[in-house]
Each structure stands twice: as structure tokens, then as C-alpha cells.
A and B are shown apart, each in its own frame.
Chain A
Amino acid sequence: MTTKIVVYYPDLTVEYLGKDIIRNFVRGSQATSDNSIIYFGVNSQYGNCCLYDRDDVVLGKILDGSITSQSLINVFVYLDNKKIGAYYAEITYSFVNKFIEFELHDSLFKWNKIKYNGFTLSDIYDDPIIMPYSHDDAKINGYQLYSKLVNVTQELGEEEISFFKPISVGSDLMNYLNSIIIEVPHIECEYLIDAWNSFCELITGALFRNEDGLVEVLVYE
């Protein structure tokens, strides 16, 4: 089992292998935060690791101001040469031993910070993609709602549509979503994740990013 961690600092890419990995990565996905309670919502991948700053390359970037607390740092983790996770990282640098602690989150975590005020019946009615049932109302089914949120997420600059993948787990998810009719579809919320959490509650399922980087929908049945 070989591991590799590639970190994309601003203007600097470093591959960490072997001894440069002080503590190897832990990465996980949680669809429920507590299995004893049914929880429906968005769950992001997480991880952590500790890496050694050989030759002070990262330190130099910190000292010259290239890396700040606001810097966007991407981390790819590889297991046996297969990428098994892509993350955004928050780092803590230890000047004493040149260890860099990484806290990893996937892009779903960012949905907590993306402003989104929801949508109205009018938005649904006028949506050229959703195409409501008739000109007398704006009702949609669960799959149309899913499509709406996918489009919204993309419009907000997050995720390509190709990243979304409604998976069928033991049942035909499409049929299931189509069977849910929302005659008054609207939502008022503050952040993007609120809308997705509401969607998960509606379908009694969870949303998470899988190892291939796809956003998947899981329904508990």
C-alpha cells in the first residue's frame, strides 16, 4: 500500500511521499453523523494528515506572504496511484519541527458558506429547464427539484453538472423521485447547503461526494 499526497499551494505544487508524510492521511465519508438517529442531509468528505516541510519550501512561501490564511490550498490524496480524494485544506504550520497539519474538507463543506436565498414559485414557473407541468401551476416532482438544485449549484459557481450523480441503491431512484409531487415548490434559505439539506429530508436520503469526486444521492430504504 503506497500513499502519495499532492498539495497545490499558491504557485507551488509539492508531492509528499514516504518520510515526508509524518502522519498518513485519514479520509472518510459520512452519510450520517450518528447511525442511531436517522439523519438526512449533506455530508462532506473529511480528512487529515501531517506532512514535513523539507527544504523549507512552504515556510518560505509563508514568510514572503505567498501563503496566507486566506489562501486556497488543494490537496489530492492517492492510494496505490489512484486518486481517492480531492480536498480543500486548512493548514497549521509548526515552526519548531516544520510539520504541517492539514485539515481536509471536500467542496461540499463550502456549501455552508455560499449564500443562496432559495427560489420561488415564480422561479420554477419561469425556469426553461425545469418546465413545470402546465401553465396553470408550477408544481414539480422530486427529480425536477433535484435538477433545479443542480443547476442552481452550478450557477453559483460550484460543481459541474457532470459531478452530480443520482445513484440508485437497491431501487430505481428516478422512479422514486418522480413519485414525489411538490405542488408548491419554494424555499427560503440562507445558504446553499440549506436547500440541499431540505432536499435530502424530502427524499429521506443523504448527499455526499464519493471517491471519484462525484456528488451522489443516497436514499435509505
Chain B
Amino acid sequence: MSKKPIKITKDKIIGNVELNLMPRNKINKVNVTGDVFTKGNIISSSKELELYNSSYDFDSPYYLYRTEYPDGDFYNGDTFTNDNLPALYSFKYTILDKGVFELAHLTFVKTFNVEFDIDSTSFPFKTILSDDYYLKFKYNYSTRNTVIDYNSYYSRGSSKDVNDENEILYFNDPTLVGERNEVENSSWVEIKAQEFPQPINDFSYDSGVFIKVLSITKSSSSKFSLQLSIGTNYLKDSITFTYSECNNVHFLKKRTILEKFIKNVTVELWGQGYSSQDKNIYSRGNIFIEGSELNIENSFINNKTTKDTSSYSSFIAGKIFDNYSKGRKYGKFTTFYTDFKFVDDTVALSGTGGNLIKVGDLLTFTDYLPDMVFFVTSAEFNAGNGFLNIEFIERIKQYDVICAETTIVSDTLII
């Protein structure tokens, strides 16, 4: 509901009413500075997980996946812990033929709890990670050629017939020998949000490292804790067996392994968000008045802020500009502790009982400017003499004013 203006008649004014125009001729230009936000797929959080060392510490349960090629027989999902983890090279191979075999990967899978810190200054966030989110990861690895002489380690399965072509060879952990070559592999792999969480036994073996999201927990307003299963193909590329034959018994002599050591995995959480990183500076409310500059820097006002359907930054800049270009009037006067009426002659202030004109009230100088309405922008009361110093500014918006008097006494105005 609209307020009514308080009527200020000339008998309420001590001295003059000082009236000024805003310095419209001193505006050089109106510029606007603000943030440009782009909505799109942006990175939210990145974590680098060290796997190289953790592959050896065995301080938590591992899932050991083993594949025996070329027969394609899988032994997936056996769980090993510190207590029952087999030695790295004590697993068995089924020897089907002479020669060189591409075989076997031994996949270690370890579970990591990773807390992603959301860059919440630029992200719209969900209470859960949904379709808008996905993981990307890449890994680095090093390789090592290891040559193992099994002459001293070989033992034959005692329960097997020596003529059995599918004889199973057992061997124990040999001494690792080889040279390590650092190799960088930075290809990115994406896991779409729709794909997680996934059951752990859905691992495929097409890549050297696998990441699956087992669970998602929202730990705070800007943090998501993801339980990730990260699997690495410890033995991936090739194993070459050299063996000799004696009385139809295969004697394993040497094994050459090209080992791949996953050193670390970088996991990134991506999603739909607003990027403020590429914010640009563009025109908004720098107003130059008498060589001075009024800067408005406001993060609420950016290229995504609107009033109705128009840009709010241009709206506010235009509004400020209009204040000056239209010569908005402002001024001050002194009145005293007494009664006042509204322009429709109803009682506004009783004059006693602590009632005062206050900031936010509307005024109309009915003797001088009956068609104009002013905001009270400052009201200072001196209890020593009962004077009330009022500052005001013109109200621009059209307002229906009921005026009883229309006489303008211009010589009391200082313009």
C-alpha cells in the first residue's frame, strides 16, 4: 500500500528550502562491470590418488582377479587380505602349449574413500549426484621388464601325471629383476553419472585401470564422499614362458614379464555448473561525476541477473543514469517538533508524543512544489532546540498527489 506524502507548508519551514539538481552535465559515461557466467560442463573437484605405493602395502583388503589365457577361464572376485594374500607370483598357470603366451592379468582392486570438494562458488548443487555429473580419470604408470629364472623354483604338481598336457605348474615367488621405465599415459576415461554406482563384478579388462563408484555420500553442503573401487592390472601386457621338455614333461625355465605399475590415478568430478573462472569485465555502473568515479561491484549483478526479462545490470545502470540525466532534485530544509498532516489533511504526526518525520517518509512542499513528491533520506533531530533537519530526494515514480495549494514562492528556493 502506498504511503501518503506529508504536507510541508511554508509555516513548517525554518529558513529556506534548499533545492538542487543532480549534476546532469557532469556525467561522462556510465559503465558496467560485472561477471559473465557460462553454464556448461565444468570441473568441480580433482583428486590425485597414489596407487603405486598402496599396491605394496597390503594394509587393506584386496580383491584379486585372475584370468588365465588363452583358455579364457576366469577366476574373479576372490578376496584376499593381509592374512591370506598370496605372494605376487605364486599363482598358477595352465600351460597348454609351447611358446610365448599373451596371458594373465592379475588385477588388484582396492577401495578408496575420496572426498570431493565442490567448487561451490560456481556450481549449482544437488543433494545427490545425479545425471548432470560424471567422473573422469586418467592414470600414469611405469613398466618394468622382469626376467625370472625358474630353474631353482620350479616344482611339479605332485598329484599330476607327468604325461598330462594340462599339467599344472606351481612356482614360488622369485627374486624380481628388471629395469623400470617411466611411461606417462594421460588418456582420460569418463564414467557417466548414470553408470554409477556399479557392482564391483562388472569390471572389464580392456584398460589398465578401472574405476567404479560404489557409493555416494553427501558429507556437507559442498562435499561429496565417493567410495571408489580402483582396479589395476598388475600384470597386463605379456608374459613369456620359456620352457624345456623332457619325457613329455614341461619344465619351466624362465619367465619374462612386462609389468605395469599404476602409479597414480587422477579422478575428476565434473558436472553442469556456472563457470566464474572465465568471468570477464564488461560495462556496468561506473559513473564519473566531476572527475570522480562511482564504482558498483556487485556479485549479485551479473549477466544472469535480470529484472523481469531485461538484464538487471543494464537496468540499474540506466536507472542511475536517469537520476542524473533527468536532473533529479534533492535538497534539505529545517523544521521543528510539531504536528504535520498528510496532503489529504488527515493527521500524519500528532506533534507530540515522540512523533517525528523519519527516513522513508514522503514529503510534498504544497506551497512551492505541489506536484512533486520527495523521499526523506535523512532526518536529524536535535533535542536541545527541537529542530529537525531533513534531507530529501525527488521521487521519480509517478504518484497521485492531492494538493490543496498550488502557489509557488520561487524566491524561497535555491536551485
Mask of A208-221 contacts with B, CB within 8 angstroms, 1/0: 10110000101011
Report the minimal beta-carbon distance from A211 to chain B, rounded to whole angstroms: 6
Contact of B300 among A81, A135, A145 (CB under 8 A): A145
Contacts of B196 in A (CB 8 A): none
Report the minimal beta-carbon distance from A210 to chain B, rounded to whole angstroms: 6
Report the minimal beta-carbon distance from B43 to chain A, rounded to whole angstroms: 15
B25 lies within 8 A of chain A by Cβ: no
The residue among B1, B23, B375 with the most chain A CB atoms within 10 A of its own CB is B375
Complex: chain A residue closest to B394, CB-CB: A220
Mask of B373-414 contacts with A, CB within 8 angstroms, 1/0: 101111111111010010111011101000000000000000
Interface size on A, residues (CB 8 A): 68
**Are B360 and A181 in contact, with the CB atoms below 8 A?**
no
A79 lies within 8 A of chain B by Cβ: yes
- Interface set, chain B 276-310, CB cutoff 8 A to A: 276, 289, 294, 296, 298-302, 304-308
A30 lies within 8 A of chain B by Cβ: yes
Measured CA separation A82–B221 after assembly (Å): 46
Complex: chain B residue closest to A127, CB-CB: B221
**Are B380 and A121 in contact, with the CB atoms below 8 A?**
no
Contacts of B1 in A (CB 8 A): 168
A221 with B359, Cβ < 8 A, contacts A28-B378, A36-B330, A122-B125 known: no
Contacts of A49 in B (CB 8 A): 383
**Are B353 and A80 in contact, with the CB atoms below 8 A?**
yes
Stretch at the interface among A57-65, A87-95, A155-163, A197-205: A197-205
Contacts of A210 in B (CB 8 A): 358-360
**Are A201 and B307 in contact, with the CB atoms below 8 A?**
no
Measured CA separation A171–B398 after assembly (Å): 10
Contacts of A118 in B (CB 8 A): 299
- Interface set, chain B 66-94, CB cutoff 8 A to A: none
**Are A26 and B383 in contact, with the CB atoms below 8 A?**
yes
A170 with B300, Cβ < 8 A, contacts A31-B377, A184-B37, A216-B360 known: no
A137 lies within 8 A of chain B by Cβ: yes
Contact of B396 among A36, A167, A221 (CB under 8 A): A221
Measured CA separation A64–B356 after assembly (Å): 40
**Are A35 and B377 in contact, with the CB atoms below 8 A?**
yes
Report the minimal beta-carbon distance from A191 to chain B, rounded to whole angstroms: 15
Contacts of A171 in B (CB 8 A): 2, 397
Mask of B322-335 contacts with A, CB within 8 angstroms, 1/0: 01000000111000
**Are A1 and B300 in contact, with the CB atoms below 8 A?**
no
Measured CA separation A204–B2 after assembly (Å): 18
Measured CA separation A120–B373 after assembly (Å): 40
Contacts of A82 in B (CB 8 A): 353-355
A-B contact count (CB 8 A): 208
Measured CA separation A197–B234 after assembly (Å): 59
A182 with B300, Cβ < 8 A, contacts A35-B378, A170-B2 known: yes
A83 with B323, Cβ < 8 A, contacts A126-B221, A220-B393 known: no
The residue among A29, A78, A168 with the most chain B CB atoms within 10 A of its own CB is A29
**Are B305 and A180 in contact, with the CB atoms below 8 A?**
yes
B197 lies within 8 A of chain A by Cβ: no
A167 with B300, Cβ < 8 A, contacts A121-B274, A188-B121, A221-B395 known: no
B142 lies within 8 A of chain A by Cβ: no
Contacts of B382 in A (CB 8 A): 24, 26
**Are B378 and A24 in contact, with the CB atoms below 8 A?**
no
Contact of B120 among A79, A123, A202 (CB under 8 A): A123
**Are B359 and A125 in contact, with the CB atoms below 8 A?**
no
Measured CA separation A24–B381 after assembly (Å): 10
Mask of A135-177 contacts with B, CB within 8 angstroms, 1/0: 1111100000100000000000000000000011111000000
The 4 lowest CB-CB distance pairs between A and B, nearest first, are A82-B354, A28-B380, A183-B304, A122-B120
12 contacts between A and B (CB under 8 A): A27-B381, A28-B378, A28-B379, A30-B380, A121-B274, A123-B120, A138-B124, A180-B305, A183-B304, A184-B274, A201-B301, A206-B377
Partner-B contacts on A (CB < 8 A): 1, 3, 23-32, 35-38, 40, 43, 49, 77-84, 118, 120-123, 125-126, 135-139, 145, 167-171, 179-188, 198-199, 201-202, 204, 206, 208, 210-211, 216, 218, 220-221
Extra A-B contacts (4), CB below 8 Å, given A38-B323, A183-B305, A201-B300 = A26-B384, A36-B20, A169-B3, A221-B395
Partner-A contacts on B (CB < 8 A): 1-3, 20, 22-23, 35, 37, 118, 120-127, 221-222, 273-274, 276, 289, 294, 296, 298-302, 304-308, 312, 316, 319-320, 323, 330-332, 337, 352-356, 358-360, 362, 373, 375-384, 386, 389, 391-393, 395-397, 399
